[in-house]
């Protein structure tokens, strides 16, 4: 053998030796257990290239203050792991920890989990934690879910995540949620982390106090909504977002929005928010920055501050900045020295800044400042628009300066009340006193009529769905609840509750995911029994082959999805004037509607309703109650998806047939 080939042989042999998996070290394990050592190496508990779950979990549970997961030259394969308090885990450069293929069958199984733990540090410059996103999205292999996260923290304190790449999850790269009501994740630092190709979000922040996210990248998120780079989205009014800071981050090429703050669950009584996003950038996401709160009687907006400072929003597919349902009395929102560059270039009707109020908005929109913000826009369009779906929420306290750059020229606009009124004229609807439905009992509007059991309702109520079923005492009543999916959601069971006319509440079995579930009950009293179905993001339709069923809404407003047809309602005797307010959900989701009198004649018809339209009418007779109807059809522009209908001044009850309609009892 020549010296040359001998050298090659020795080099090859040394490579094989280096690549050999490390051996377990029981002696070192015992020294960790006895407290003689504070620093451990994961391989001491063994390394199995097919499945190292047991070894890694034992190493984490060992009590070691510092645990090093070594670069063995092979991937660490593991099922879901539970983190421990008071521990630093260091992933060496080049380490890959990957989810075991075929594992994670539970819808909430995550790669690393921590619940009510404290003092956790995960460090890994050049290391990757990854899962099998494409497998979890395959319904032949997995029950669909959106919570198979890489890092899953609930009510944890003093957490540091540094230097890691978090990829290919079946949910989020990082999830910060709650294990106990009122206990947020607190004192959390996320630095130099890349969240890549995750299924739902790069990061989801549900409840956090003292959060710093710095020099992080969120990119290529796609799979299930919201598909955002980062999403601040509390689930309950008891949760909080206080002293949350993001600095020097990039959100890139996400199918959803770059930076989302969906704060509708927070109310005026919730802890005020304090969020600051500075020197951050977005590129090529659906929208760059979205801020949504609540603005109706039930979800009065949270207080506090939300600041975007020195941010650059580039090449959003839709609007660069979107602010929705932002009451002037709510949190102060500021955009300071921010730049919107080439937003919605393929949608010339979409402004770079989009403001909107939903159908349930009750207060004027405002308390937003744009200080020295620049808009670079190739289209000759308004820099800012306002979509008022409520038909009455005006604009106030919009201040600052917008600098519009177009065609090599620059124009500065100071946001004065006069300019705001010119760009976004305010519409005011007729004020009609809401019908007081509380404690009202209902009875058949046409008691001698027999409803046709074969005429099933196709009305789809989204999210919280309310219906009335009228039965006499001691009758056996039957009904069905049809749950219909919206988008690519998870088929979650929908809770169903029955409330008797006297207010007695009975929890029924859940409506099981997608499909129709049957129910029976024996009425103990005569009257309208309320059916409440929490359909989540999906829709519910209720039908009965035995009894009268109507749509109902305690708020007076019904959230429909994809519904057409004629729907009847009752105008009580003595009513002087009433109205029906109809609105789409956005400029692309519209509806055609026609108000019809008791004789079936069209009183008014309106096509392509996107922003709210109010149909105002007077009954033909004020001495007797009347049955009017609203005809819903496909618009000539846009699609029939989400839209809202509110009955004003009359009972909030709709029926798909006259014979099934209920009215207030005398």
- Asked whether residue 9 is domain-assigned, the answer is no
- Is residue 504 located within the same domain as residue 554? yes
Domain final position from 234, 266, 295: 234
Window from 143-152, 273-282, 621-630 with minimum mean pLDDT: 621-630
- Asked whether residue 261 is domain-assigned, the answer is yes
pTM beyond 0.75: the answer is yes
Question: CB-based contacts of 150: which residues, under 8 Å, 6+ apart?
Answer: 110, 111, 112, 129, 130, 131, 166, 167, 169, 172, 173, 174, 198
Strands 384-388 and 273-278: unpaired
Give the pLDDT of residue 298: 58
Give the pLDDT of residue 5: 47
Give the pLDDT of residue 8: 41
Strands 304-309 and 332-336: parallel
pLDDT score of 584 more than 70: yes
φ and ψ at residue 205, rounded to 5 degrees: -110, 105
Question: Could you tell me the residue range of the domain that residue 381 belongs to?
Answer: 257-428
- Asked whether residue 91 is domain-assigned, the answer is yes
d(CA 150, CA 616): 54
pLDDT score of 289 more than 80: yes
- Is residue 47 located within the same domain as residue 144? yes
- Is residue 278 located within the same domain as residue 394? yes
Number of domain units in the chain: 3
- Is residue 167 located within the same domain as residue 277? no
Give the pLDDT of residue 440: 87
Give the pLDDT of residue 9: 42
Distances (CA, A) of 539 to 294, 514, 535: 21, 10, 6
- Is residue 64 located within the same domain as residue 157? yes
Q: What residues are paired with 290 via a beta bridge? A: 260, 322
pLDDT score of 270 more than 90: yes
- Asked whether residue 435 is domain-assigned, the answer is no
- Asked whether residue 246 is domain-assigned, the answer is no
pLDDT tens digits, 101-157? 999 999 999 999 999 999 999 999 999 999 999 999 998 999 989 999 999 999 999
- Is residue 462 located within the same domain as residue 382? no
pLDDT score of 19 more than 70: no
- The confidence band for 587, taking pLDDT boundaries of 50, 70 and 90, is confident
Q: In this structure, are residues 257 and 285 in contact, taking their beta carbons and an 8 Å threshold?
A: yes
Mean pLDDT of 314-336: 96
- Is residue 448 located within the same domain as residue 424? no
Q: Euclidean distance between the first and final Cα of the chain, in Å?
A: 109
What percentage of the chain exceeds 70 in pLDDT?
Answer: 96
Window from 10-14, 411-415, 500-504, 524-528 with minimum mean pLDDT: 10-14
- Asked whether residue 14 is domain-assigned, the answer is no
CB atoms near residue 139 (< 10 Å): 8
pLDDT tens digits, 400-458? 999 999 999 999 999 999 999 999 987 778 888 888 887 889 999 999 998 887 899 99
- Is residue 367 located within the same domain as residue 454? no
Give the pLDDT of residue 493: 85
Total residue count of the chain as it appears in this document: 666
Domain final position from 403, 428, 453: 428
Does residue 290 sit in helix, strand or coil? strand
pLDDT score of 3 more than 60: no
Mean residue pLDDT across the chain: 92
- Asked whether residue 333 is domain-assigned, the answer is yes
Residue with the larger pLDDT of the pair 613 and 67: 67
* H/E segment holding residue 56: helix 53-60
Mean pLDDT of 80-97: 98
Give the pLDDT of residue 294: 86
3-state per-residue secondary structure call for 334-397: EEECCEEECCCCCCCCCCCEEEEECCCCCCCEEEEEEEEEEEECCCCCCCEEEEECCCCCCEEE
- Is residue 529 located within the same domain as residue 622? yes
- CATH number, domain of 199, equals 2.160.20.10
pLDDT tens digits, 164-173? 999 999 999 9
- Is residue 344 located within the same domain as residue 388? yes
Give the pLDDT of residue 12: 43
- Is residue 421 located within the same domain as residue 453? no
- Asked whether residue 512 is domain-assigned, the answer is yes
- Is residue 212 located within the same domain as residue 334? no
Mean pLDDT of 67-80: 97
pLDDT tens digits, 632-645? 999 998 888 889 99
70 class by beta-carbon count within 10 Å (0-12 exposed, 13-18 middle, 19+ buried): middle
Window from 287-301, 316-330, 350-364, 456-470 with minimum mean pLDDT: 287-301
Mean pLDDT of 532-556: 90
d(CA 296, CA 301): 8
């Amino acid at each position: 053998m020549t010296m040359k080939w001998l050298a090659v042989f020795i080099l090859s042999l040394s490579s094989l030796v280096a690549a050999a998996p490390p051996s377990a070290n029981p002696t070192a394990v015992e020294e960790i257990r006895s407290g003689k050592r504070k620093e451990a190496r994961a391989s001491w508990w063994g390394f199995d290239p097919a499945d190292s779950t047991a070894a890694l979990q034992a190493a984490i549970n060992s009590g070691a203050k510092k645990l090093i997961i070594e670069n063995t030259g092979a991937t660490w394969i593991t099922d879901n792991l539970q983190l421990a308090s008071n521990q630093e885990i260091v992933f060496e450069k080049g380490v890959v920890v990957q989810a075991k293929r075929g594992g994670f069958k539970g819808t909430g199984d995550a790669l690393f989990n921590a619940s009510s733990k404290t003092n956790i540090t995960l460090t890994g410059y050049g290391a990757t934690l990854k899962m099998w996103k494409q497998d979890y999205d395959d319904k032949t292999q997995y029950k669909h879910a959106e919570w198979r996260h890489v890092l899953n923290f609930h009510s944890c304190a003093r957490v540091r995540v540094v230097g890691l790449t978090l990829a290919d999850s079946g949910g989020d790269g990082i999830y910060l949620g709650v294990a106990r009501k009122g206990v947020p994740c607190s004192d959390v630092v996320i630095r130099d982390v890349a969240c890549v190709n995750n299924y739902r979000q790069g990061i989801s922040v549900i409840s956090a106090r003292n959060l710093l996210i710095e020099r992080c990248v969120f990119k290529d998120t796609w799979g299930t909504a919201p598909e955002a780079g980062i999403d601040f989205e509390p689930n309950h009014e008891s949760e909080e977002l206080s002293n949350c800071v993001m600095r020097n981050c990039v959100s890139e090429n996400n199918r959803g929005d770059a930076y989302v703050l969906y704060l509708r669950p927070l109310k005026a009584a919730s802890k005020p928010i304090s969020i600051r996003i500075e020197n951050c950038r977005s590129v090529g996401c659906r929208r760059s920055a979205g801020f949504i709160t609540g603005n109706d009687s039930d979800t009065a907006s949270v207080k506090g501050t939300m600041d975007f400072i020195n941010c650059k929003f580039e090449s959003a597919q839709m609007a660069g900045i979107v602010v929705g349902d932002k009451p002037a009395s709510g949190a102060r929102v500021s955009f300071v020295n921010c730049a919107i560059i080439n937003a919605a270039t393929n949608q010339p009707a979409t402004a770079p800044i989009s403001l909107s109020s939903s159908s349930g908005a009750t207060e004027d929109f405002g308390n937003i400042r744009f200080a020295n913000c620049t808009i670079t826009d190739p289209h000759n369009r308004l820099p800012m628009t306002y979509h008022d779906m409520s038909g009455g929420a005006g604009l106030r306290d919009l201040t600052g300066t917008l600098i519009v750059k177009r065609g090599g020229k620059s124009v500065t606009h100071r946001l004065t009340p006069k300019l705001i009124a010119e760009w976004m004229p305010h519409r005011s609807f007729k004020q009609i006193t809401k019908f007081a439905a509380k404690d009202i009992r209902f009875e058949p509007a046409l008691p001698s009529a027999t409803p046709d059991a074969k005429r099933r309702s196709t009305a789809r109520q989204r999210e919280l769905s309310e219906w009335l079923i009228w039965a006499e005492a001691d009758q056996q009543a039957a009904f069905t609840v049809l749950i219909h999916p919206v988008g690519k959601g998870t088929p979650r069971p929908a809770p169903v509750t029955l409330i008797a006319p006297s207010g007695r509440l009975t929890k029924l079995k859940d409506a099981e995911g997608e499909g129709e579930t049957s129910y029976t009950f024996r009425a103990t009293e005569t009257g309208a029994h309320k059916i409440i179905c929490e359909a989540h993001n999906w829709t519910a339709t209720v039908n009965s082959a035995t009894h009268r069923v109507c749509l109902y809404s305690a708020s007076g407003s019904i959230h429909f999805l994809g519904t057409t047809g004629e729907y009847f309602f009752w105008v009580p005797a003595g009513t002087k004037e009433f109205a029906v307010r109809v609105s789409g959900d956005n400029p692309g989701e519209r509806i055609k509607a026609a108000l019809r009198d008791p004789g079936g004649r069209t009183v008014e018809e309106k096509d392509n309703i996107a922003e709210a339209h109010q149909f105002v009418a007077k009954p033909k007779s004020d001495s007797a109650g009347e049955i009017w109807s609203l005809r819903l059809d496909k618009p000539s522009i846009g699609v029939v998806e989400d839209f809202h209908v509110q009955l004003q001044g009359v009972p909030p009850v709709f029926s798909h047939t006259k014979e099934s309609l209920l009215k207030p009892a005398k």
